[in-house]
Amino acid sequence: MKEAHISVDHVGKRYSICHKGAVGRFASFRDVLMSGVTRPFRRQSTPAESPTKEDFWAVKNVSFDVGQGEILGIIGRNGAGKSTLLKLLARITEPTEGKITLRGRVASLLEVGTGFHPELTGRENIYLNGAILGMSRAEIRRRFDDIATFAEVEQFLDTAVKHYSSGMYVRLAFSVAAHLQPEILIVDEVLAVGDAAFQKKCLGKLEDASGSGRTILIVSHSMSVITRLCSRAILLDKGTVTHDGKVEEAAHRYLEASHNSASASWHPPTPVGDTIAKIHGARLHDLQGNSPPVFSIGAPLCCTIDYELAASAKRALPAIQLVNDAGTIVFGSAAFQLRTSERIGCLSATCLVPAHLLAEGYHTLSIGLVSYNPNTLHAFEREVLALLLIDDTTGDGTRGDAMGQWPGVVRPKLEWMFAA
């Protein structure tokens, strides 16, 4: 490894959670009101009302080094400790235990608005951020035009940033952080606020920054972003590191954990949708109606969606979208064959995915209800079902006896023949 720009040595962050007995975070408004009214008449607190404290470790015993020019991905489910770790690295908060060593100037992009003064203009905030990073006014001036052009906010530079939209805010914040050339750049999911074109520009800029020797830490739920940018990733679970190594292995473990926590069936607590169309649930199964943990590559699979249409549904149709473990959309499909149906009420529709279509690996299924004329999305749920397709060992698949990875988003079994 090159010289370590970041060294994290057995770092932990502990928070104290206070519970106040009966009148705590689960109390009703009536309980809180009555407690306040009767408190003056009580001589002493009862044991049930005495506050208690509980220690919660958001990050625990985390150690790793990041070399110069390395792009490290940090992944994990919600609540795994990713944002807490980034705040520790950005020195927004101090660790409870352990030591963090940073060699070089640090710029962080953790939340919309971090590091900007809302009353100052975009121009003034560029100079302010540069000064915070230890740059001279002349250095900032040399890069000023590139920052403004990249952020696409030239005409708003003399407007107070409190009047910016969230997209403008993020574009300018990222542009400042990337162009003022800190040795260490820390980026959270905040880039998801930008549009697709700007995200593409950001990814290219991050790749250029790494090539010039800067160290980058990036948190994202998008495995396509992580696998494209990073050669190494850390997987966090409940505040601890469960994997530190090749990005493909980290992404595999992350998606496997997501799959294990999901079910082959999905039912929202309340129906998802609007007054016209609602989704009640969905399930993956084979032709016999079974939901195995592993679907064979050589057998068809089915997705059944349970939904409800009101009388004013205007032919709303169920639809699905499948995304692979790299974040690439494999395909989308809508039930256009059902357009002639005028059924309303509680309905069920099944989509049949043929055998020898999907490549082995992890895939995530999204479902929706949509009207295409006019084009109206009534209900949509992302990543509701994860399915596992790994069984291509029967010799009946396109790989035959070949071993190792087989490239491609899909795995069709095509016909081959000799020329006459």
Q: What is the pLDDT of residues 123-175, one digit of tens each?
A: 999 998 888 777 788 989 999 999 999 888 899 999 999 998 877 888 888 88
CA distance 153 to 147: 9
Could you tell me which of 121, 119, 116, 154 has the C-alpha nearest to residue 132? 116
Q: Left (φ > 0), alpha (ψ -120 to 50) or beta: where does 255 sit?
A: alpha
CA distance 172 to 175: 5
pLDDT band at 401 (very low <50, low <70, confident <90, very high): low
Peptide bond into 374 cis (omega under 30): yes
Question: Between the ranges 11-15, 149-153, 220-224, 340-344, where is the mean pLDDT highest?
Answer: 11-15
Weakest-pLDDT range from 67-76, 223-232, 296-305, 354-363: 223-232
Q: Left (φ > 0), alpha (ψ -120 to 50) or beta: where does 263 sit?
A: beta
Residue 57 has pLDDT above 80, yes or no: yes
Whole-model pTM: value is 0.61
Average confidence (pLDDT) over 43-48: 54
Specify whether the CB–CB gap between 235 and 76 falls below 8 A. Answer: yes
Structural tokens at position 43: 């001589």
Output the CA–CA distances (angstroms, integers) from residue 314 to 44, 91, 139, 258, 304, in the order listed: 64, 54, 60, 36, 21
Q: What is the pLDDT of residues 354-384, one digit of tens each?
A: 998 988 777 888 899 988 777 788 888 877 7
Residue 25 has pLDDT above 60, yes or no: no
CA distance 122 to 115: 12
Confidence at residue 350, expressed as pLDDT on a 0 to 100 scale: 95
Task: Tell me the percentage of the chain whose pLDDT exceeds 70.
Answer: 80
Q: What is the DSSP string of 135-199?
A: --HHHHHHHHHHHHHHHT-GGGTTSBGGGS-HHHHHHHHHHHHHHT--SEEEE-GGGGGS-HHHH
Weakest-pLDDT range from 124-128, 217-221, 257-261, 352-356: 257-261
Which DSSP symbol is given to 214?
-
pLDDT band at 31 (very low <50, low <70, confident <90, very high): low
Structural domains in the chain, CATH included, are 57-260 (3.40.50.300), 269-389 (2.70.50.60)
Confidence at residue 35, expressed as pLDDT on a 0 to 100 scale: 63
Confidence at residue 167, expressed as pLDDT on a 0 to 100 scale: 79
Confidence at residue 94, expressed as pLDDT on a 0 to 100 scale: 93
